[in-house]
């Protein structure tokens, strides 16, 4: 294990070598970065100069060692980091030497960062994780306790997390510690847990190097935080529904030990008991779509007993074939000799659970303490405006506003959100449009079809007049009965408030 003092000295060396996010991204260039996104190192090699002559180029040496995952001459690595740190990294199992005297990363260290948000500090540091298994067409086979680096799923969870100042935050299943790096930017205290001791060891490296003081705890689900409550819980749990594997073969980073989506259910349902008043739990996950029960009813069955408000967004739906093919390929088994048997076995497993599809999406729970919690479950496969976290915060808050009695709703002076635009569609020269749509250019990018009365109401909501006064004026203009128009528009006004088109 690396001593804290070693990690602090390592940080100094990384900074001195300009092995930090912006300089490294600049060195790789646009093509180099895009290539790495496709798991191809060729464009990055060209950016470094191929063949690469390390000379005194410490930054280039570290990019070769940790980003391209090459074997690099030991003397060049010692030049970049210092011989004693190379030895310490070797003793900690993060580097290994080969017979030819070259050094290779067992667990690479890559610069990581994110911009500051309106309510959160910038993230700047490094993540330490196992080697990326798919670079340059490699097999993708990994050890059972493999620790994932930042993945597209981690980025999505980071984007959907509500970034508001909170007291205590929990990162459940921290892996390399990536979510904790983000949480530290707006939480007073961060607890990070994992079932995998290797994950905690690498997360400790990531967090100490990045100057983040998180409380790391080993254990399954909520065992390490028994009796504790948090203002924010985030998790990207091992949600892949795979057939049970023999001990030591289950890929801990992606597969739970419970059947089907039971581990996801536990993360969500048990998580609700660990939320402080007004606390939020945000999870990126998969869930089973079973025969004979609408997916939303099944998930509502999990959520209703928690007593929390819930917003569930299904982003994608896969059939069992697509699902199994995707995850066999992820494990590097798509060209394995026993691929067909594994494929059939997995399909049979899902069929045995009654799984006819898999939903991929986001679950956000808020402990609002409401007598009648608001449950909203919807399929929304359309483009959204990332980061979406603010939209979750607004949506949870909009429930409070929309809950008002009709009289209070009508007495409020609403403002149309500045990101709402009106689109009209019709034949050229026609007096009236055939379709009138109010569209959000923010968050979930929702859209609603409006008629003249509703569009006029929204258009006049600038915080000056009450909704009731505006509807009265519209009734005069349209020469209709004001009470009838009020009765027609009030439920639609409530929906517009709940969806964040109008705010107070």
Ligand X SMILES: C[S@@+](CC[C@H](N)C(=O)[O-])C[C@H]1O[C@@H](n2cnc3c(N)ncnc32)[C@H](O)[C@@H]1O
| Residue ranges in contact with ligand X by CB under 6 A | 148, 151, 154, 157, 172-175, 178-179, 193-196, 199, 220-221, 236-238, 252-254, 256
Q: Minimal distance in Å, beta carbon 385 to ligand X?
A: 21
488: tokens are: 């027609």
Q: Minimal distance in Å, beta carbon 219 to ligand X?
A: 7
Task: Give which of 207, 203, 185 is closest to 195, Cα–Cα.
Answer: 203
Q: Minimal distance in Å, beta carbon 422 to ligand X?
A: 38
Residue with Cβ nearer ligand X (6 or 194): 194
Residue with Cβ nearer ligand X (175 or 185): 175
Task: Give which of 287, 286, 284 is closest to 156, Cα–Cα.
Answer: 284
Q: Minimal distance in Å, beta carbon 267 to ligand X?
A: 8
Residue spans of alpha helices (H) in 161-235? 178-183, 197-209
CA distances from 69 to 2, 27, 133, 143, 313 (A): 21, 16, 10, 17, 37
Residue with Cβ nearer ligand X (143 or 344): 143
Dihedral sign (CA 241, 242, 244, 248): negative
> Is-contact 304 340, C-beta < 8 A?
no
Residue with Cβ nearer ligand X (221 or 410): 221
Residue with Cβ nearer ligand X (251 or 458): 251
Q: How far apart are CA 283 and CA 365, in angstroms?
A: 9
Q: Minimal distance in Å, beta carbon 265 to ligand X?
A: 12
Dihedral, 15, 16, 21, 26 alpha carbons, nearest 10: 170
Q: Is 143 helix (H, G, I), strand (E, B) or coil?
A: coil
For 444-481, the DSSP string reads T--EEE--HHHHHHHHH-BSSS-HHHHHHHHHHHHT--
Cis bond leading into 381, ω under 30°? no
Task: Give which of 229, 257, 222, 223 is closest to 241, Cα–Cα.
Answer: 257
Residue with Cβ nearer ligand X (92 or 218): 218
Beta-carbon contacts of 387 under 8 Å, excluding residues fewer than 6 positions away, are: 117, 158, 159, 160, 163
Q: How far apart are CA 129 and CA 290, in angstroms?
A: 35
Residue with Cβ nearer ligand X (330 or 406): 330
> What DSSP state is assigned to residue 258?
S
Beta bridge partners of 447: 439
Task: Give which of 469, 472, 467, 451 is closest to 504, Cα–Cα.
Answer: 467
How many CB atoms are closer than 10 A to CB 158? 23
Q: Minimal distance in Å, beta carbon 153 to ligand X?
A: 6
Q: Minimal distance in Å, beta carbon 203 to ligand X?
A: 8
Ramachandran class of 387: left when φ > 0, alpha when ψ lies in -120 to 50, beta otherwise: beta
Q: How far apart are CA 207 and CA 183, in angstroms?
A: 11
Q: Minimal distance in Å, beta carbon 394 to ligand X?
A: 24
Q: Minimal distance in Å, beta carbon 157 to ligand X?
A: 5
Count, residues in the chain: 504
Residue with Cβ nearer ligand X (174 or 280): 174
Residue with Cβ nearer ligand X (151 or 290): 151
Q: Minimal distance in Å, beta carbon 236 to ligand X?
A: 4
Q: Minimal distance in Å, beta carbon 194 to ligand X?
A: 5
Residue with Cβ nearer ligand X (266 or 413): 266
Residue with Cβ nearer ligand X (142 or 296): 142
């Amino acid at each position: 294990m690396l001593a804290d003092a070693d990690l602090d000295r390592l940080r100094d060396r990384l900074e001195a070598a300009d092995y930090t996010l912006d300089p490294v991204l600049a060195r790789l260039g646009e093509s180099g970065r895009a290539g790495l996104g496709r798991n191809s190192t060729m464009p990055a090699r060209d950016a470094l100069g191929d063949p690469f002559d390390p000379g005194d180029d410490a930054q280039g040496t570290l990019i070769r060692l940790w980003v391209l995952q090459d074997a690099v001459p030991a003397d060049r690595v010692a030049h970049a980091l210092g011989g004693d740190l190379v030895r310490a990294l070797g003793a900690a199992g993060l580097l290994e030497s080969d017979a030819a005297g070259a050094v290779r990363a067992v667990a690479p260290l890559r610069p990581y960062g994110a911009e500051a948000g309106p309510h959160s500090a910038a993230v700047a540091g490094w993540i330490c994780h196992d080697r990326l298994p798919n670079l340059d067409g490699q097999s993708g086979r990994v050890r059972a306790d493999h620790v994932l680096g930042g993945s597209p799923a981690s980025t999505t969870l980071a984007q959907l997390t509500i970034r508001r100042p909170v007291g205590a935050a929990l990162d459940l299943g921290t892996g390399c510690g990536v979510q904790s790096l983000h949480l530290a930017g707006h939480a007073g205290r961060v607890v990070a847990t994992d079932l995998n001791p290797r994950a905690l060891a690498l997360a400790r490296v990531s967090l100490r190097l990045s100057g983040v003081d998180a409380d790391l705890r080993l254990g399954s689900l909520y065992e390490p935080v028994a009796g504790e409550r948090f203002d924010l819980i985030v998790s990207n749990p091992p949600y892949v529904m795979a057939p049970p594997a023999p001990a030591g073969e289950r890929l801990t980073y992606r597969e739970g030990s419970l059947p089907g989506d039971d581990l996801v259910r536990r993360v969500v349902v048990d998580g609700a008991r660990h939320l402080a008043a007004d606390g939020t739990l945000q999870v990126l996950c998969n869930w089973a779509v079973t025969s004979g029960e609408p997916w939303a009813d099944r998930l509502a069955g999990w959520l209703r007993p928690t007593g929390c408000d819930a917003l569930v967004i299904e982003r994608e739906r896969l059939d069992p074939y697509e699902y199994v093919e995707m995850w066999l390929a992820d494990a590097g088994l798509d060209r394995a000799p026993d691929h067909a048997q594994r494929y059939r076995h997995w399909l049979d497993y899902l069929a045995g659970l009654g799984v006819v599809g898999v939903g991929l999406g986001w679950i956000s729970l808020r402990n609002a303490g409401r007598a009648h919690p608001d449950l909203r479950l919807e399929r929304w496969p359309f483009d959204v405006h990332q980061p979406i976290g603010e939209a979750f915060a607004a949506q949870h808050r909009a429930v409070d506003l929309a809950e008002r009695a009709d009289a209070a709703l009508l007495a409020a002076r609403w403002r149309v959100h500045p990101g709402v635009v009106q689109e009209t569609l019709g034949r050229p020269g026609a007096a009236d449009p055939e379709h009138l749509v109010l569209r959000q250019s923010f968050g979930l990018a929702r859209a609603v079809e409006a008629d003249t009365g509703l569009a006029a109401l929204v258009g006049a909501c600038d915080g000056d007049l009450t909704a009731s006064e505006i509807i009265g004026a519209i009734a005069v203009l349209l020469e209709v009965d004001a009470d009838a128009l009020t009765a027609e528009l009030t439920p639609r006004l409530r929906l517009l408030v709940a969806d964040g088109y109008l705010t107070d």
